[in-house]
């Protein structure tokens, strides 16, 4: 086996039994916690230990069959005895089909912890986890925030931190201390169905937003034992989002240089921010299922990056090693591969086969006790830090702000900054409140399309579970202009025409037609698609209304950019709402009618054609067109783009030096003026380009940004700084390096060259 080259050397152990990881620097661990772990583990049997490494779904504890639980939901006491006492399972997850009330959650968690703490010999509490990814979305009446891609469109990390803080509060109010969030996969392929769960295509923006969300969940000092904080779970490590097919859980081929430069940094930022757990990529990378890759899980994650928390599988992924990936013949071989690679906890999630087989692997000498002990230490470390031994269950009665106005307002403010204005021809927007409007399209009158997947149900498609009293786009438009001034015709479903001719007829004579388009709700493989173009029925609706001559404003509620270039010239206005959450209808109407000046900016490139899916940080070779010009990259709307109801003017771009030694920060300043007559928020984006490098440089890379408030007529000087490390890339020897030479700083349309004149190349650690 060839070891990867790295600036910090790490062990390359190819033994079949694995071994204990040296990942956790003793200097970084709390000695009191470690001593407490020693005391607990000294009394644990092998059965206790393999039980701790097992995670089952709530289905395995409930009346009914997996995926088809009885209603109303009820825990099965015989199953509880078997799972928690006899097999000593240490972690439970998920919800049984749909959201529960906070009262039912308290009943569930209390009962589970009673069995774990009072009935099994070790008395170790259960660690319960849930996919609280945009609020506590599996608890009835919880506050639902914009999804991650929508949050990224705000370019405001503080809003993600607030979302994390509210989610932590309401998840603890549900008696649960652990969320499987944030998603730190880089969303570079708009075909990928989990794009909306990411923070977009850029590593810098994604890293900043992810770091903020971790701090929101865990607190500034990661004191996850606080009753208002929870443990976060970074996912999905590593290379999950760039599959060759664009479909979920299919093969990816990612060179190590690219992996380290683009896909590791977001996770490293979150690890440095203190995130306590991590979930592994369900796919395979370079022909190796990541769950079996010791170089990724132990050498890179645990040893090099120094991660000392729990390394968790995704749903049933060890079983998939033999049923899908075919790298193991059976369960025995699959578990051996995964545990020896560095997995600490298996999301089984429906039966006890993992627990029994792992015990046998240890008894057979195929998995070492040192590997088991390392995994169990990590699990206990998180349980202790969460305060589960002292407080196994938190009560909703202690969380009076749950689902209240304060939290709803936080979601509303976030949604307002999500909404991104992409086209405003002839100043069609904002619309007049004295006008008459047609509202039509499949996403106009449904909360499902504002929230997307992971909303009260897995796919977010059950209308019966939507929060009462929340406004659809149609509802919110009516609130702005009055019921009598709004005509609603459905027009189409997502994929099928319903009454397009009636919609076109209703558009005649109206001030404007607000046409709400987008996608059905989905997550994971359910969202795989064959064509990125907007469905034909929706394009036909736009074409029919365009023939009436009534101005059209499109509103997209969608998880990824669906191509609509065939009708784009026929519309006057385009708004991207993404998946803005429960307050997204109100926020969209605020922008449509000018009560809010839009400040969203795209965290992705919006493609013009289905076969032109080039991210903004492409290489220059991607720009060569068929006529040999450099115009091949031509998205519908570029990364970082977004309009406003005011205008901004940039001037006076300055650097503190044009000959930089790289030892002290490079200071960049630029004047930004609001030259319009409305207050606004502007995202100042700083990009760089490297003119010549030993690895072909990107056309440009985002290096810094700042979102500022500017009153009408106001001018501010914005100061941003760059370190030499900010310009580094992973070189041919897999070391992070900033090479001497010429660079350019770009802000808006301004460019300033400078030269790094270090005596030698500058090298940096991971």
Residue pLDDT, tens place only, 487-522:
999 999 999 999 999 999 999 999 999 999 999 999
Average pLDDT of every residue of the chain? 95
Residues 6+ away with beta carbon under 8 Å from 422: 574, 575, 576, 602, 606, 637, 641, 642, 643
Q: Does the pLDDT of residue 24 top 60, yes or no?
A: no
pLDDT one-digit tens code per residue, 563-600: 999 999 999 999 999 999 999 999 999 999 999 999 99
Q: Does the pLDDT of residue 23 top 60, yes or no?
A: no
| For residues 352-363, average pLDDT | 98
pLDDT at 291: 98
Q: What is the homologous superfamily of the domain 26-398 according to CATH?
A: Glycoside hydrolase, family 3, N-terminal domain (3.20.20.300)
CA distances for 445 relative to 478, 496, 517, 692, angstroms = 11, 16, 11, 52
Residues 6+ away with beta carbon under 8 Å from 249: 243, 282, 283, 524, 525
| Distance from the first to the final alpha carbon of the chain | 22
- Is residue 296 within 8 Å of residue 304, measured between CB atoms? no
pTM of the model: 0.96
pLDDT at 759: 78
Reported as a pLDDT band with limits 50, 70 and 90, residue 26 is low
274: left (phi over 0), alpha (psi -120 to 50) or beta: left
Q: Does the pLDDT of residue 173 top 50, yes or no?
A: yes
pLDDT at 31: 96
DSSP letters of 173-199?
HTT--EE---B------TTSTTGGGS-
Q: Which among 392, 393, 330 is positioned nearest to 366, based on CA atoms?
A: 330
pLDDT at 27: 57
pLDDT at 131: 98
* Structure tokens given for 10: 């790490």
Q: Does the pLDDT of residue 630 top 80, yes or no?
A: yes
pLDDT one-digit tens code per residue, 730-740: 999 999 999 99
Q: Domain residues of the chain, as ranges? A: 26-398, 419-623, 648-764
- Is residue 306 within 8 Å of residue 24, measured between CB atoms? yes
Residues 439 and 545: their CA atoms lie apart, in Å, by 11
DSSP state of 313: -
pLDDT one-digit tens code per residue, 71-119: 999 999 999 999 999 999 999 999 999 999 999 999 999 999 999 999 9
Residues with a known catalytic role? 314
- Low-confidence winner among 25-34, 74-83, 450-459 (lowest mean pLDDT): 25-34
Residues 231 and 661: their CA atoms lie apart, in Å, by 41
Q: Does the pLDDT of residue 761 top 90, yes or no?
A: no
User: At how many degrees (to 10) do helices 405-418 and 157-173 cross?
Assistant: 150
Residues found in the chain: 766
Could you give the percent of the chain with pLDDT greater than 90?
94
Q: Which residues, in sequence order, are bridge partners of residue 517?
A: 556
pLDDT one-digit tens code per residue, 254-276: 999 999 999 999 999 999 999 99
- Unique residue bearing structure tokens 């998939």: 320
Q: Which among 55, 84, 130 is positioned nearest to 358, based on CA atoms?
A: 55
Residues 83 and 77: their CA atoms lie apart, in Å, by 10
- Low-confidence winner among 8-17, 277-286, 484-493, 649-658 (lowest mean pLDDT): 8-17
Could you give the percent of the chain with pLDDT greater than 70?
96
pLDDT one-digit tens code per residue, 744-757: 999 999 999 999 99
For domain 419-623, say whether CATH 3.40.50.1700 is its number: yes
Q: What is the homologous superfamily of the domain 648-764 according to CATH?
A: Immunoglobulins (2.60.40.10)
* Structure tokens given for 164: 């994390």
pLDDT one-digit tens code per residue, 659-699: 999 999 999 999 999 999 999 999 999 999 999 999 999 99
Q: Which among 104, 190, 178 is positioned nearest to 607, based on CA atoms?
A: 190
| For residues 142-165, average pLDDT | 98
């Amino acid at each position: 086996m060839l070891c990867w080259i790295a600036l910090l050397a790490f062990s390359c152990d190819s033994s079949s039994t694995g071994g204990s990881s040296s990942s956790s620097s003793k200097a970084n661990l709390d000695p009191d916690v470690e001593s407490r772990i020693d005391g607990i583990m000294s009394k644990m049997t092998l059965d206790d230990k393999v039980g701790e490494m097992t995670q089952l779904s709530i289905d395995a504890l409930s009346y009914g069959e997996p995926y088809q639980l009885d209603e109303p939901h009820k825990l099965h006491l015989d199953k509880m005895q078997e799972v928690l006492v006899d097999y000593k399972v240490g972690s439970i997850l998920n919800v049984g089909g749909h959201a529960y009330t906070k009262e039912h959650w308290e009943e569930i968690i209390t009962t589970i912890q009673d069995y774990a703490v009072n009935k099994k010999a070790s008395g170790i509490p259960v660690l319960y986890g849930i996919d609280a990814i945009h609020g506590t979305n599996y608890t009835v009446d919880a506050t639902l925030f914009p999804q991650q891609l929508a949050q990224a469109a705000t370019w405001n990390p503080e809003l993600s931190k607030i979302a994390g803080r509210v989610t932590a509060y309401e998840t603890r109010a549900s008696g649960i201390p652990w969320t499987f969030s944030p998603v730190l996969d880089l969303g570079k392929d708009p075909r990928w169905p989990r794009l909306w769960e990411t923070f977009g295509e850029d590593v810098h923006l994604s890293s900043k937003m992810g770091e903020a969300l971790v701090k929101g969940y865990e607190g500034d000092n990661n004191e996850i034992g606080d009753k208002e904080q929870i443990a976060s779970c970074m996912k999905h490590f590593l290379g999950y989002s760039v599959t060759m097919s664009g479909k979920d859980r299919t093969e990816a081929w990612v060179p190590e240089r690219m992996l380290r430069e683009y896909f590791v940094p977001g996770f490293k930022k979150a690890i440095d921010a203190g995130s306590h757990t991590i979930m592994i990529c369900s796919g395979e990378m370079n022909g190796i299922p990541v769950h079996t890759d010791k170089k990724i899980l132990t050498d890179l994650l645990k040893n090099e990056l120094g991660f000392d928390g729990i390394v968790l599988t995704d749903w049933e992924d060890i079983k998939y090693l033999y049923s899908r990936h075919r790298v193991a013949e059976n369960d025995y071989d699959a578990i051996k591969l995964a545990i020896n690679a560095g997995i600490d906890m298996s999301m089984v999630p429906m039966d006890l086969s993992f627990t029994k087989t792992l015990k046998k692997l240890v008894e057979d000498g195929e998995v070492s006790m040192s590997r088991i002990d390392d995994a169990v230490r990590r699990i206990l470390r998180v349980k202790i830090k969460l305060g589960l031994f002292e407080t196994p269950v938190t009560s909703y009665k202690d969380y009076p702000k749950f689902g209240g106005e304060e939290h709803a307002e936080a979601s509303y403010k976030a949604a307002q900054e999500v909404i991104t204005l992409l086209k405003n021809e002839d100043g069609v927007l904002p619309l007049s409140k004295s006008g008459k409007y047609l509202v039509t399209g499949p996403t106009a009158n449904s909360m499902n399309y504002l929230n997307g997947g992971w909303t009260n149900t897995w796919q977010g498609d059950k209308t019966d579970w939507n929060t009462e009293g929340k406004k659809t786009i149609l509802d919110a438009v009516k609130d702005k202009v009055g019921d009598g001034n709004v005509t609603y015709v459905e027009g189409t479903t997502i994929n099928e025409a319903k009454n397009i001719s009636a919609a076109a007829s209703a558009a005649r004579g109206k001030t404007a037609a607000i046409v709400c388009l987008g996608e059905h709700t989905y997550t994971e493989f359910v969202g795989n698609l064959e064509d990125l173009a907007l469905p034909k029925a929706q394009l036909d609706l736009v074409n029919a209304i365009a023939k009436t001559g009534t101005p059209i404003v499109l509103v997209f509620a969608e998880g990824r950019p669906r191509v609509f270039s065939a009708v784009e010239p026929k519309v006057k206005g385009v708004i991207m709402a993404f998946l803005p959450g429960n307050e997204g209808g109100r926020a969209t109407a605020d922008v449509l009618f000018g009560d809010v000046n839009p400040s969203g900016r795209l965290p992705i490139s919006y493609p013009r054609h289905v076969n032109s899916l080039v991210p903004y940080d492409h290489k220059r070779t991607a720009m060569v067109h068929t006529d040999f010009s450099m115009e091949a990259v031509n998205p519908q709307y570029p990364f970082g783009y977004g309009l406003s109801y005011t205008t901004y003017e940039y001037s006076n771009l300055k650097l503190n030096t044009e000959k930089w030694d790289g030892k002290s920060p490079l200071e960049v300043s630029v004047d930004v003026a609001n030259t319009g007559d409305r207050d606004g928020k502007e995202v100042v984006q700083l990009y760089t380009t490297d003119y010549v490098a030993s690895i072909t440089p990107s056309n440009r890379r985002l290096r810094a940004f700042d979102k500022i408030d500017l009153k009408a007529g106001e001018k501010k000087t914005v100061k941003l700084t760059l370190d030499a490390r900010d310009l580094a890339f992973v070189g041919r020897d897999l070391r992070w390096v900033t090479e001497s030479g010429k660079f350019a700083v770009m802000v808006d349309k301004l460019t300033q060259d400078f030269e790094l004149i270090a005596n030698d190349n500058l090298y940096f650690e991971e």
